[in-house]
Amino acid sequence: MSDRHDHDHDLAETLLGALDRFAADDGAALLVALDFDGTLAPLVDDPTASRMTPAARDAVDALGATAAERVRLAFVSGRDLEDLALRAAPPVGSYLVGSHGAQTGHATSDGLEAVPLELTAEEHETLTALRAALDEAVSGREGAWVQHKPSAAVLHTRLAGTEDTEAAVEAADAAAARLGLEAMHGKDVVEIAVLHTSKGEALERLRDVVGHDVGTGRVRVLYAGDDTTDEKAFAVLEAGDLALKVGDGDTLAPHRVAGADDVAAVLDRLRASFGAR
Ligand SMILES: O=P(O)(O)OC[C@H]1O[C@H](O[C@H]2O[C@H](CO)[C@@H](O)[C@H](O)[C@H]2O)[C@H](O)[C@@H](O)[C@@H]1O
């Protein structure tokens, strides 16, 4: 029995219909863009321990291996690009978007090919001030810690108690306001970047890149994500695209699944639909 039949019973009829319509558009390039944490990899306390579920891993690899000429795979994450490439081990040919759009790259047979990220002297200075402010925000607050990225700093509070979380988040928000930066609130994280980025803008750029790559003006996008920052990506989707929310929470997405293994079932279904054409 194929994967398609193994998993179909888990997915809502409306989603199955939408997936089949998505795959059936012969004239368009199809971009399957996937968030990483909370979408393919269940959330864990230690971000360096994140990994895709076995089903998600298999589904991503299978889709990457069998992607038809007009199908492209992308990973769109808040993670630093190199970290994303390490954790996602993307199939060759995949596009990668890191740091919510500040970093881009491509998975080649020789590894990650990244577009260098360059900050101005002023942005460097702001990043230094931001890092110092967030380090100060977590000082003495048990369980709260700061993750440093090339153009951002992230306050993590997953392991902190309510009081320490509230105080650290308040301090992070104040630092962002003082430095004229936007604070992005995700799941137990506050991410502050010195570059203006969003997954929505990144996805719009990626749609253009894929259009050029495949040689068509029509690119349909399937985007799957679990967090508030993924809503920016859902917001730029158009008629004929498919938005898939993973897990609980308010969303713009018309379709929802519970977790990474359901995302795997979605990818398996898509692959079967591509193969059937
Ligand atoms: O866009 P994503 O791929 O979802 O990345 C967003 C953030 O993911 C990581 O944090 C989240 O996952 C951690 C590991 O499961 C979890 O501990 C944390 O609470 C989550 O917010 C990553 O550490 C961040 O840098 C990303 O921005």
14 with 80, same domain? Answer: yes
209 with 266, same domain? Answer: yes
Question: Within 13 Å of residue 9, how many CA atoms lie on the same side as its CB?
Answer: 3
Q: What's residue 275's pLDDT? A: 66
Of the residues 156, 176, 193, which one is the last residue of a structural domain? 193
The size of the chain, in residues, is 277
94 with 170, same domain? Answer: no
**Residue of minimum CA distance from atom 27 in ligand 1:** 78
Q: What is the pLDDT of residues 106-134, one digit of tens each?
A: 999 999 999 999 999 999 999 999 999 99
Question: From ligand 1's centre to the CA of 110, what distance in Å?
Answer: 26
CATH of the domain at 243: 3.40.50.1000
144 with 266, same domain? Answer: no
CATH of the domain at 133: 3.30.70.1020
Q: What is the pLDDT of residues 257-276, one digit of tens each?
A: 999 999 999 999 999 887 65
Instruction: Please state the domain count of the chain.
Output: 2
Q: What is the pLDDT of residues 145-199, one digit of tens each?
A: 999 999 999 999 999 999 999 999 999 999 999 999 999 999 999 999 999 999 9
Q: What's residue 1's pLDDT? A: 35
Question: Which residue do the tokens 């995700």 mark?
Answer: 186
Question: From ligand 1's centre to the CA of 21, what distance in Å?
Answer: 32
The pLDDT-based confidence of 5 (bands split at 50, 70, 90) is very low
**Residue of minimum CA distance from atom 23 in ligand 1:** 47
DSSP state letter for 41: B
Instruction: Kindly state the helix (H) or strand (E) to which residue 232 belongs, with its residue range.
Output: helix 231-235
113 with 204, same domain? Answer: yes
Beta bridge partners, 153, equal 148, 192
Of the residues 172, 193, 214, which one is the last residue of a structural domain? 193
DSSP state letter for 79: S
178 with 56, same domain? Answer: no
Question: From ligand 1's centre to the CA of 79, what distance in Å?
Answer: 7
4 has a pLDDT exceeding 50: no
Could you write out the DSSP letters of every residue in 153-204? EEEE-TTS-HHHHHHHHHHHHHHHHHHT-PEEEETTEEEEESS---HHHHHH
Best of 146, 189, 192, 231 to mutate for ligand 1, by most ligand atoms within 8 A of CB?
189
Tell me if 99 CB under 6 Å of ligand 1: no
15 with 109, same domain? Answer: yes
Supply the range of the domain harboring residue 218: 3-117+197-275
Separation CA 81–CA 96 (nearest Å) = 7
Residue 70: count of CB within 10 angstroms of its CB: 21
277 has a pLDDT exceeding 70: no
| Residue-wise burial string across 83-122, b where 16 or more C-beta atoms lie within 10 A, e elsewhere | bbbebbebbebbbbbbbbbbbbbbbeeeebeeeebeeeee
Separation CA 111–CA 129 (nearest Å) = 33
103 with 169, same domain? Answer: no
Q: What is the pLDDT of residues 57-107, one digit of tens each?
A: 999 999 998 766 889 999 999 999 999 999 999 999 999 999 999 999 999
Phi–psi pair at 155, nearest 5 degrees: -85, 125
47 with 91, same domain? Answer: yes
Tell me if 159 CB under 6 Å of ligand 1: no
Percent of the chain with pLDDT over 90: 90
Tell me if 200 CB under 6 Å of ligand 1: no
ipTM of this complex prediction, to 2 decimal places: 0.98
Of the residues 193, 211, 232, which one is the last residue of a structural domain? 193
Tokens at residue 171, please? 């301090």
